[in-house]
């Protein structure tokens, strides 16, 4: 296997008035190609903060991150943005689809940002929507879709540029039990079929168990646990 993601000695401190909140306290992690790694912990423990730092969305107070061998926080914000668009796919708890665009257009947008032409972007977006079971809903805007359907489209969008690594931030956290189960089954199927490299954070034990390596985030540090 080859290394896709690495972080060393990550710290994150938030300052609120006179108070310093030390959320991350020296995180080290390596994710290899084809691995699915899960990080579990209750709400507010810093899981999303860690994922945002690893994905180039938020700079750490200390430490660094390498994506595909590139030390991202030595780069400009513009360069980091380019790395995110080309190499990282994100699926958040809340789908973050663009409300004025159809499902098809939402999936095409990341490809436009990468410079893909309209014909090729549309062809690939249709294929992805078919893969996640949303082809018949391609012309619907997000407000006309259920929560589970929106999350399926968000997954298709995250895969649009064939990312080296897929980040999942509580991917079923905003869904009812039935839709959460369906979306989780889809994610597991995609991981197996596409041999995806995945880093996910969750408070849900069932979701965490799709990871082949599992960690708890406790007191700002990662503690490895046995995958079941």
Q: Give the burial class of 141: count Cβ atoms within 10 A of its Cβ; 0-12 exposed, 13-18 middle, 19 or more buried.
A: middle
Mean pLDDT for 172-180 is 77
Task: Give CA–CA dist 212/9, Å, rounded.
Answer: 23
What CA–CA distance (Å, rounded) separates 155 from 184? 11
Q: What is the CA radius of gyration of the chain?
A: 17
For the chain, where are the E strands, in sequence order? 3-16, 19-32, 36-40, 62-67, 70-71, 88-91, 165-169, 198-202, 213-218, 221-225
**Between 214 and 147, the higher pLDDT residue:** 214
Per DSSP, the residues of 192-213 read HHHT--EEEEES-HHHHTT-SE
Whether the model pTM is above 0.85? yes
- For the chain, give the percent of residues with pLDDT over 90: 57
What CA–CA distance (Å, rounded) separates 186 from 170? Answer: 15
Sheet with 88-91, strands from edge to edge, namely 88-91, 165-169, 198-202, 36-40, 213-218, 221-225
Distance set, CA 174 to CA 2, 72, 132 (Å): 33, 30, 18
Of 87-91, 120-124, 172-176, the one with minimum mean pLDDT is: 172-176
In CATH, 3-225 is 3.40.50.300: yes
Whether the CB-CB separation of 124 and 104 falls below 8 Å is answered with no
**From 44-48, 57-61, 80-84, 214-218, the region with the lowest mean pLDDT:** 44-48
Q: What is the mean pLDDT of residues 174-193?
A: 84
User: Going by C-beta distance under 8 Å and a sequence separation of 6 or more, which residues neighbour residue 130?
Assistant: none
Instruction: Give per-residue pLDDT as tens, 122-170.
Output: 999 999 999 999 999 999 999 999 888 898 999 999 999 999 999 998 8
Mean pLDDT value of segment 75-79: 92
d(CA 94, CA 154): 9
Average pLDDT, the chain: 89
Q: CB-hemisphere CA count at 13 Å for 33?
A: 8
């Amino acid at each position: 296997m080859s290394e896709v993601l690495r972080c060393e000695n990550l710290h994150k401190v938030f300052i609120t008035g006179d108070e310093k909140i030390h959320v991350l306290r020296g995180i080290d992690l390596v994710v290899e190609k084809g691995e699915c790694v899960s990080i579990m912990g209750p709400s507010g423990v810093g899981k999303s903060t860690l994922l945002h730092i690893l994905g180039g969305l938020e700079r750490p107070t200390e430490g660094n991150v390498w994506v595909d061998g590139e030390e991202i926080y030595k780069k400009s914000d513009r360069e980091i943005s380019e790395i995110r668009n080309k190499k990282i796919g994100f699926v958040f708890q809340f789908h973050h689809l663009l409300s004025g665009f159809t499902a098809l257009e939402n999936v095409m947008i990341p490809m436009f940002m990468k410079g893909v032409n309209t014909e090729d972007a549309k062809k690939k977006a249709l294929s992805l929507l078919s893969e996640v079971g949303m082809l018949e809903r391609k012309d619907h805007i997000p407000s006309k879709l259920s929560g589970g359907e929106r999350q399926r489209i968000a997954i298709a969008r995250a895969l649009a540029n064939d990312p080296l690594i897929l980040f999942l931030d509580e991917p079923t956290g905003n869904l009812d039990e039935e839709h959460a189960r369906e979306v989780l089954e889809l994610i597991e199927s995609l991981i197996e079929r596409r041999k995806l490299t995945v880093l996910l954070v969750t408070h849900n034990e069932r979701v965490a168990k799709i990871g082949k390596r599992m960690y708890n985030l406790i007191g700002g540090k990662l503690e490895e646990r046995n995958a079941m």
